[in-house]
A and B are shown apart, each in its own frame.
Chain A
Amino acid sequence: MPPSIAEILDRGTLRVAMYSRDTPPFYYRDEKGDLTGIDVHIIRGFANLLGVDVEFDRSAATFNAVIDKVANREVDLAICKLSMTFSRAMRVRFTEPYIVLHQGLLINRLKLAQQAGRKSKEEAIQNLKGKIGVIGKSSYVEYAKQRFKNTEIMQYPSWKAVVDGVLNGEVVAGYRDDAEIKKIIRDQPETALKLLTVVFKDALDPKGIAVAWDSVHLQFLLDFYIESLGLQLSADKVLHEYDAIISAIETKSPKSLKLPNSMPIVRPSDMEAQDGE
């Protein structure tokens, strides 16, 4: 038994780090206060197949703090729509991306119109000036430094604060993945007058599950599991076909009958389509 797996099975719980703020539809508390969402279902399905419980650690106030938890081995893995960036990959190991999002901007239309003048919108966006809002200590701090060299980066405590900053003109634009940008379109149509939504076709934001640098087999097993789910996730699918995704995860990773404490340990060999060691 590889050590990274054996440790989890012996403990009987999978320790998962997750960012403290709710981010529907990926991970959030529903009306009953139960933790749910796509990331939550994916990792619960994985735990079901391992035959262990899941314990979510949501104490990390920033995304980088989530990475720290994985690097310091306080948890077995982290899943919370984590961007796979170079500086993070230097410290932890990532699975293959389970969803590849695109980077996008939420732009204050007025500020852009004033910046663009006679230039086209596209040109003005590519050469954005002024302040750009991101969630503090998230991957987008890094992306903004790379992509928008003429801007001053403003770090906000939460995405809501970023959106408010764009709305009241504190910053020209908010920078995050297209799932979040499109969510604003879906849930807050009244902002469309003030906000221009842009998705970059050629700037990807792959999201992976982070494990400790030496949890080689855990990473392999997660990859194998994600592959077997065959979800083909995308921003539009997540926002508009949520229920179908959840039921697909549930049928492929059924919850075993839970017998308190005296539960037989289900080995990975029970997973379907498994042969060899």
Chain B
Amino acid sequence: MGNESGNRRSRFEFLLSVWAILAGALVGVLIGTQKQEWVEYIAPFGDLYLNVLKMCILPILITAISMSIGKLLKSHQHTHYIRRMFAVFAVGLVFTSGLGVLAGVSMEPGSNLSEESLSVLGKTIQGANQPDLEINLLEPFAPVEPPSLLKSFFVNLIPDNIFNALSNGSNLKVLFFAIIFGFAVGSIPKEASDSMLSFLDATYKAFAKLVSWLMYLLPFGLCGLIASNLSQVGIDILLAMFKFVPLVIGAFLILFIASSLVIGIRVGNFFLPFQALKQPVIISLGTANSLATLPSALEGMHKKLGYDKQAVDLLVPLAISLCRFGPVLYFATATLFVAQLYDIPLGFTGLLVVFVGAILAGMATAGTSGIVSLTMLGIVLTPLGLPFDAVIVLFIVVDPIVAPFRVLAIVHTACAAVSVIITDREKEETVLPAEPAVSG
């Protein structure tokens, strides 16, 4: 790691090394668990870092997808990719949901909890000695009709005003716009579209550059993010969910290893995936935000693993936004946890409902992140007749611990899926530079 080249910028080069990033993360862990009084001073660094990173995301998302669709249309490769994409995504979703169900069924995280654990869970649900509901008995309750899922999906998908969608950060709408726009750009005459494509390309490169500068600050940002995340978790609730939390994290890690193997098989080298995707892995664990990981995932897939830039720029954002491997696995295991908590035996049909429901609920989290996405758990729990409002609190409380791994599962599995979809690699670029290349 010690690089003593005569490079002018090498003074700060050490900040890009794994050791610096790990040190930042470790300090964050220590502050978040041991020195909680420092969190308020250090947390803003994490938030600022995440905000700057998010600032670059939407432009990258739009330009990457529009440009790659536009170029693919020009090169007439697209039908081949689209078909493979659907097949691979479907297989991936089935696999993750199955893994989640398997983990829940085999390890039984919600069975035989001690009286003490139940008491902590109960206190967490109850909040502050208040009854759950205060309602009128005599006035008929006027229910708010919940919109249908399919309807709300399409409503969330299609923007009526793209600038509105951009300023609200509605990722799904932006994604839809980028795809449509890419098709449009690819369909106009070449002389007109070329200037547009080069504009998109320049925008994309500029923001990618910004992100690469940001990587110098990653250790500090990580430190703040991890510290503030960890300080929000009560230790007693973790003890009460001592079976569930390690189990899902374990399942995510199994998924991580499986994805690494898939990439390893595809590139013919089992160490390469770990090195090439080091940065996206660290950023997803540190920021717990899948889109914030997008730029580094694109770079890893293209520059370090040598996949075709256009295909990567199109497929990785699509896979991250639409193919929510992490939430799918999480919902499957979480549903089984709740069923076990309430002592509800799920027969084969019940497990099938969990398996399919987890895939649907996971897909429904597209465009949301964090706690909002947890509410989709209702999609699986309601058909099984399991109470949703009581248990959602439990998952919200442990989410600061679980979310980083869930995001890792989203991003890393998406990369693995893309490595399967793309059939050819440019071999000559796979040699890893010993130090990050700082090109002028």
Contacts and interface: CB of A to CB of B under 8 A. Distances in A.
Contacts of A104: 131
A202 B342 contact: no
A131 interface: no
B126 A189 contact: yes
A198 interface: yes
A202 B137 contact: yes
B390 interface: yes
Nearest to B144: A120
B273 to A, nearest CB: 41
Interface string B250-287: 00000000000000000000000000000000000000
A140 to B, nearest CB: 13
A125 B126 contact: no
A203 B141 contact: no
Contacts of B118: 190, 193
Given A112-B387, A182-B131, A194-B342, A200 B136 contact: yes
B126 A126 contact: no
B436 interface: no
B133 A198 contact: yes
A239 B341 CA distance: 29
Contacts, number: 104
B117 to A, nearest CB: 8
Contacts of A32: none
Interface string B110-136: 000001001111110110011111111
Given A181-B131, A190-B118, A196-B387, 7 more contacts: A104-B131, A185-B131, A189-B123, A190-B115, A202-B136, A202-B138, A203-B138
Nearest to B143: A120
A203 B121 contact: no
Contacts of A117: 385
Contacts of A199: 131, 133-134
Given A112-B387, A122-B135, A185 B129 contact: yes
Interface of A: 103-104, 109-110, 112-114, 117-123, 125-126, 147, 178, 181-182, 185-186, 188-194, 196-203, 239-240
B143 A190 contact: no
B123 to A, nearest CB: 4
B136 A109 contact: no
B386 A192 contact: no
B138 A193 contact: no
Nearest to B341: A193
Contacts of B388: 113
Given A122-B143, A123-B143, A186 B135 contact: no
Contacts of B129: 182, 185-186, 239-240
Contacts of A178: 131
Contacts of A191: 122
B341 A196 contact: no
* In the A-B complex, the 6 residue pairs with the closest CB atoms: A192-B122, A189-B122, A190-B118, A190-B119, A122-B141, A109-B387
Interface in B390-422: 390-391
